[in-house]
Amino acid sequence: MLSLRRPARHAVPIKSKVTPARLGLAAALAASALGAVGASLAAATPSVTINVNPSYNASNCTTASLQCPTIQEGIELARTYSNTNLTISIAPGTYVENPVIRSFPSGDTLAIRGSGSSKTIINGSTHTNSSGLTSYSVLWNHQTKTNVIIADLSLTKGISPNGGALYSDGGSVQLYNIEADHNAATGFPGIGGAIVNHSGQMEIFNSTLADNSASKAGGAIYNDGYLVVEESTLYNNFGPYANAVYNTIFGTSYLNFDTVHDPSSTGPGLYNFNTKSNFAVGTTILDNAGCNGSGKGITDSGYNVESDNSCSFGATSKVNSSTINLAPLSYYGGPGPLTAAIDPTSSAFEIVPTGSPCFITNDERYVTRPGITGQNCDAGAYEYSANLVITASSSTITYGTTPTVTPSYSATVVGIGPVTPNLSHLSGLTCSTTATAASAPGTYPTTCSGATDPDYNISYVPGTLTIVPAKLAFLTSPV
């Protein structure tokens, strides 16, 4: 079975549901953000790419031309293939439709790939599609035989009783670089404002679910299957029985390196149905987003940061923290979607030891962990990474003058840009030159070295000291 998943990513083993074959493909996707989906497919199985662009004519939506004007028409064309690795490549634009994935032949693998979460947007407000099918979710996965990959697009404005953005009715689904925002689950049963995973296996990576709501449970996600959420942001979602994730008695959920922020303290962020349900949380920020009933069977995988103490986390986690200091949801660089930044003042900064606790090598934006060389990793979906450049001074002095070298500083935060350097933790810096007061006129290098700072990756720029001859003094006698 196809996987675009990077190896060895789970802090908690996922046991029999993930096979070695599913763990072994596309290690390079962390940098390319699924840019090589087609190239990652197994060579032994034929591959077909269907292109979707509103400018195409429907008459070209054939196996000969492989050009379809709507996503649904692309899906219907894909259904005519068997034992094929299928990619539906969607051009930038806003697509007002509600695609349904249904009845694929066994042996197919389907990748639906946009051009970026800010470029390819599926607006599900109309509840219709070009095949006359009715879907209230923005996207409905209604089949169990095909492994489905959805990547690099946004799902927005869906209104459904189950899963405003995505309802997956069994099967295996993987999401990469997805934004699901302003979706709602209303009426009965009112579950999964963004996503419902019903009985299947779902893995969500490098994605953001924001401003979704459910009238009952799971403002972001309702899970009664197998769920993994990693390097993702669940922000400002709302549901009375769980603002972020509701895990049912049949559910198994794992959260790793995620950021969860709830809009208010009404309702928990995470809800586990009872102690017989499996729900494990590790290296995750829970900002104003606690757990139901003193955790109620939620397992602490370690190194979480929580603004209250409702999850009953253990010794390696930080609880009752008032200094998580999340920045607003925004783009902070990289190919990934919106996320919420932290800085060195955050209690999530550098609390995850390198090695096995920091088992994921990139954050939601594909910034390398740890963000500061030689330091620990950050909890949450965002890894703080900043660079400090120390420049040795350049100057001109007269022969016989004792030279001095002074440093200057410039700092840049990855994904944000230049910032005013904070040197409160800087130590060990020395600056010097090979010249002395007795050195002959000429040019000499100036350098700085030896600095350490847990807040920065440090680099140095040398300077130049120029020594010029002293002016001769002439004595004159009175006439």
Tens of pLDDT along 137-176? 999 998 777 899 999 999 999 999 999 999 998 889 999 9
8 A C-beta contact, residue 411 and residue 424: no
Strand, coil or helix: 68: strand
Tokens describing residue 456: 């920065």
Separation between Cα atoms, residue 244 and residue 239, nearest integer Å: 7
pLDDT given at position 256: 97
Q: Which of 6-15, 291-300, 445-454 has the highest mean pLDDT?
A: 445-454
Separation between Cα atoms, residue 117 and residue 177, nearest integer Å: 6
b/e for 191-218, b at 16 or more Cβ within 10 A?
bbbbbbbbebbbbbbbbbbbbbbbbbbb
Residue 5 has pLDDT above 60, yes or no: no
pLDDT given at position 454: 95
pLDDT given at position 37: 44
Residue 131 banded pLDDT, cuts 50, 70, 90: low
pLDDT given at position 215: 94
Give Cβ neighbours of residue 465 (< 8 Å, ≥ 6 apart). 394, 395, 396, 397, 403, 405, 433, 435, 443, 444, 445, 446
Residue 13 banded pLDDT, cuts 50, 70, 90: very low
On the 0-12 / 13-18 / 19+ scale of CB atoms within 10 A, 264 is exposed
8 A C-beta contact, residue 191 and residue 221: no
Residue 7 banded pLDDT, cuts 50, 70, 90: very low
pLDDT given at position 474: 58
8 A C-beta contact, residue 277 and residue 247: yes
Q: Average pLDDT of 91-100?
A: 95
Strands 329-330 and 339-340: antiparallel
Separation between Cα atoms, residue 305 and residue 378, nearest integer Å: 10
pLDDT given at position 430: 98
Residue 12 banded pLDDT, cuts 50, 70, 90: very low
* E-state strands within 195-297: 195-198, 201-205, 208-210, 213-214, 221-223, 226-230, 233-235, 245-247, 252-256, 259-261, 270-272, 278-282, 285-287
Residue 222 has pLDDT above 80, yes or no: yes
Residue 294 has pLDDT above 60, yes or no: no
Q: Of 25-39, 332-346, 400-414, which gets the smallest average pLDDT? A: 25-39
pLDDT given at position 145: 76
**Residues in the chain, total:** 479
List, for residues 37-93, the tens digit of each pLDDT value. 444 444 568 999 999 999 999 999 999 999 999 999 999 999 999 889 999 999 999
pLDDT given at position 135: 66
Separation between Cα atoms, residue 440 and residue 371, nearest integer Å: 45
pLDDT given at position 82: 86
Residue 301 has pLDDT above 50, yes or no: yes
Whether the ω angle into residue 105 lies within 30 degrees of 0, i.e. cis, is: no
Residue 33 has pLDDT above 50, yes or no: no
pLDDT given at position 24: 29
Whether the ω angle into residue 353 lies within 30 degrees of 0, i.e. cis, is: no
Separation between Cα atoms, residue 195 and residue 185, nearest integer Å: 9
List, for residues 244-259, the tens digit of each pLDDT value. 999 999 999 999 999 9
pLDDT given at position 102: 87
Q: Average pLDDT of 287-310?
A: 88
Higher pLDDT, 443 or 310: 443
On the 0-12 / 13-18 / 19+ scale of CB atoms within 10 A, 39 is exposed
pLDDT given at position 146: 83
Residue 467 banded pLDDT, cuts 50, 70, 90: very high
pLDDT given at position 142: 86
pLDDT given at position 133: 59
Backbone angles phi, psi at 373, to 5 degrees: -55, 130
Residue 265 banded pLDDT, cuts 50, 70, 90: low
Backbone angles phi, psi at 270, to 5 degrees: -120, 135
Residue 34 has pLDDT above 60, yes or no: no
